[in-house]
Structure 1
Amino acid sequence: MRIALLGGGSWGTALAIHAARLHQDVVLWVRKDEVAERLRRERENARYLPGIPFPDNLSISADPGVIHDVDLVLIAVPSGAFRATLRWMQPRLREGQTVAWATKGLETSSGAWLHEIAEEELGAVFPPALISGPSFAAEVARGQPTALTAASQSERSLDRLAGALHGEALRIYRNPDVIGVELGGALKNVLAVATGIADGAGYGANARAALMTRGLAEMQRLGEAVGAQPGTLTGLSGLGDLILTCTDDQSRNRRLGRLLGQGYDLETARARIGQSVEGVETARQINARARTLSVDMPICAEVHAVLYQDRPVREAARRLLERDPTHENPAG
């Protein structure tokens, strides 16, 4: 199988390294010629994944033409660049190819789900397809055991994704629930900011467990409102990714939250992370969607208030704790 990974950040690089262990013809595409030249010369991505060498057969290119000759184009760019990437790709694609993405989040300007953007920009010829789940890039790049979900309503797309990535230390599970897989991958970033804030403020393990559990309840409520399958949200791309990002400091979202909890302002916290932190913009869009759909998401609302309304961390915690008592399971 011929595979092109678009995006020279940590996740795109890690997936390219893994794919190149399984297939001979894999190319990592980056926007700038000088970046491509540096990666070819150094044979590692020293900025994002230092010390992890590229397989000998992994090609690096900044040539837009590389996507025309591959079977699978897998996009791993920040969500804010997703639409522009599709528009750039569209005239270079050919019938019979599979387009999928490993991007998590919503469009920062509109709040659109990524599958909605894909349908708008690519049409029905390329059905939406993605991979998501509990995965830190460095561990995938090192070949450590990982399980991911491939989501699409196209069996052909699922076959391509599984064929491209399933093998060695990476296991792929199939799921037709595109919206559910997208929702889990986006919302877990906001909840990781929440648990990071709590840990940075010194609130302890009890608070972290409560935020994760009630955060899952918020994920399930929003999932019901948008038509996600309940099993998806308790699977790899929902609960699995939530556990990962809320408990390990490899998560940029959790690290940013910890800095906020320690008293740093958002601008300083983002500068110290030094990479894209999807949960910051996703918090804005999720909060807007929750209001539009009349879905109760108090944790996400308080994260939004801390990020965008200068609400002090301890005031946000007080507001959550002083809410009226309610049933844990309203249906019961």
Structure 2
Amino acid sequence: MRATGPSDPRLAVLGAGGWGTALARSLAPMHPGVTLWARREVLADELRRSRVNAAYLPGVKLPAAVNITSDLSAAVAGANFALLVVPSVGMSELLSALPPRLGVVLCAKGLAPGGQRLSELAASLGFGRVAVLSGPNHAEEIGLGLPAATVVASADAEFARTVQAELMTPHLRVYTSADVPGVELGGVLKNVVAVAAGLGDGLELGDNARASVITRGLREMARYLTTQGAQEDTVYGLSGLGDLVATATSRHSRNRAAGEALARGLSPEQDGKVVEGLRTARLLSAWAEANGAELPIVQAVAAVSEGRLSPQEALSVLMQREARAEG
């Protein structure tokens, strides 16, 4: 565990949604100078007054030590690195507004609009120190100080160790990895499988169906990750299997809830919050079709989300696929 003191580098958390708020709350005891940036001044003002993010993380109070601002330049001034905690669709705009000399830790679990990995996007914009953070980390639990573990991956081993040291707390254990595509894409694909698990829950298909979706979804994740240069072992770690189990089974999971809503004929959007799994399913389904790849669960979720199949029809397609050996 790191020692704290006046010379500690300031940390900036950019994005005041549920996950950003939870990270600021978790880091505050170890980093009294942590800054939380909100894009909208009205939200920043509300957070300064109430210290509670009622819209995104109710019940979690931000300590007075957390600085809150809507001024992006002020938020990153003097920061060693910043945690970028905005939805994937907004990552390009945020990165473009930041100085490339800043180290960035990408905390969104999605793809850029064209299907590019967010770490690739950051590198293309000139950022030299880039890491991704992923794992079974529900904001609702991290914000309450419940124990969890996560993974920070970077091609720059020194930067990964720096981020690890700064993020470690008595309640959050941080591991490092050099497998950036594996850690990043594990966090991306597990959202799609969680939507599929939610579809099963909405259709009341039972525990056997949910376990089958999770298991076969994990194999689908492994097949795709290896085509993208990832190490297959990574999918069985915290950023793959660990995150998948949490996201596919938890009442906190936005993606699982979206699948359940779709199965019941309701809107999958929840209070305007981004459902990354639906975007990812559509992007990767298009990739699979263009490349002749087989991603049956991804393609089924995409078909349902686009209205091409009903949840029941998608289930029938999956259940009637050609018989084969497990693997």
Q: Same fold (TM over 0.5)?
A: yes
Q: Is the 8 A contact 1:72 1:160 kept in 2?
A: no
Q: List per-residue Cα deviations over 1:228-257 (Å, max 9, x = no partner).
A: 111110000001111011111210000010
Residue type of the alignment partner of 2:78: D
Distance, in Å, in 1 between the alignment partners of 2:165 and 2:253 is: 28
Following superposition of structure 1 onto structure 2, how do residues 202-281 of structure 1 map, counting pairs within 5 Å?
Answer: 202-264=204-266, 268-270=267-269, 272-281=270-279
Work out the CA distance in 1 between the residues paired with 2:205 and 2:51: 43
Alignment partner, residue 91 of structure 2: 82
* CA apart distance, 1:276: 1.1
- 1:122 counterpart = 2:126: yes
Q: Deviations over 1:140-189 (max 9, x none)?
A: 01100000001001122112211221121100011000000111100011
Give the root-mean-square deviation of aligned CA atoms: 1.3
Q: Is the 8 A contact 2:106 2:119 kept in 1?
A: no
> 2:24: which partner in 1?
16
| Residue matched to 1:286 | 284
Distance of 1:273 and 1:244 partners within structure 2: 22
CA distance in 2, matches of 1:156, 1:324: 47
| The 10-residue stretch of structure 1 (228-237 or 159-168) with the greater mean CA deviation from structure 2 | 159-168
Q: How far off is 1:30 after superposition?
A: 1.0
Instruction: Give yes or no for contact 1:83–1:117 (8 Å, CA) kept in 2.
Output: yes
- What's the CA shift for 1:273? 4.8
The one-letter code matched in structure 1 to 2:307 is Q
**2:179 is aligned with 1:177:** yes
1:101 is aligned to 2:103: no
Instruction: Report runs of 4+ in structure 1 exceeding 4 Å deviation.
Output: none
* CA drift at 1:98: 2.0
Question: Aligned partners of 1:294, 1:166: CA distance in 2, in Å?
Answer: 42
Report Cα offsets for 1:297-324 as digits up to 9, x if no partner.
1111111110113311111111111111
Q: Is the 8 A contact 1:225 1:293 kept in 2?
A: no
The whole-number CA distance in structure 2 between the counterparts of 1:298 and 1:65 is 44
Specify the SS of the correspondent of 1:3.
Answer: strand
Percent identity between matched residues is 41
Deviations 1:182-231 (A, max 9, x none): 11100011111100001100111111111111101110110111111111
Give the CA deviation at 1:289: 2.3
Residue number in structure 2 paired with 1:191: 193
The CA distance in 1 between the partners of 2:147 and 2:322, in whole Å, is 43
Cα offsets for 1:5-55 (capped at 9, x unmatched): 000100011111111121121000111222211110111111111121111
In structure 2, C-alpha distance between the alignment counterparts of 1:316 and 1:302, rounded to whole Å: 6
Question: Aligned partners of 2:272, 2:228: CA distance in 1, in Å?
Answer: 33
Q: Secondary structure at the match of 1:122?
A: coil
Q: Distance between the aligned counterparts of 2:157 and 2:311, measured in 1?
A: 46
Instruction: Return the alpha-carbon distance in structure 1 between the equivalents of residues 62 and 181 of structure 2.
Output: 33
Contact 1:252 1:273 in 2 (8 A): no
Which structure 1 segments of 5+ residues have no match? none
**What code does the residue aligned with 1:74 have?**
L
Structure 1 CA distance, aligned partners of 2:80 and 2:174? Answer: 18
Contact 1:222 1:290 in 2 (8 A): no
In the alignment, structure 1 residue 323 sits paired with structure 2 residue 313 = no
For 1:64 and 1:211, the matched residues in 2 are separated by 41
Partner of 1:21, secondary structure, is coil
- The 1:316/1:273 distance shift into structure 2, 3 A limit, reads farther
Higher helix fraction: Structure 1 or Structure 2? Answer: 1
Give the 3-state SS of the residue equivalent to 1:71 in structure 2: strand
Question: How many residue pairs were aligned?
Answer: 318
- Preserved CA contact (<8 Å) 2:107 2:133: yes
TM-superposed CA distance for 1:261, in Å, is 1.3
What secondary structure, in the 3-state scheme, does the structure 2 residue paired with 1:28 have? strand
Which deviates further from its counterpart, 184-193 or 310-319?
310-319
Ranges in structure 2 where 5+ consecutive residues have no aligned partner: 1-8
Maintained 8 Å contact 1:73/1:100 = yes
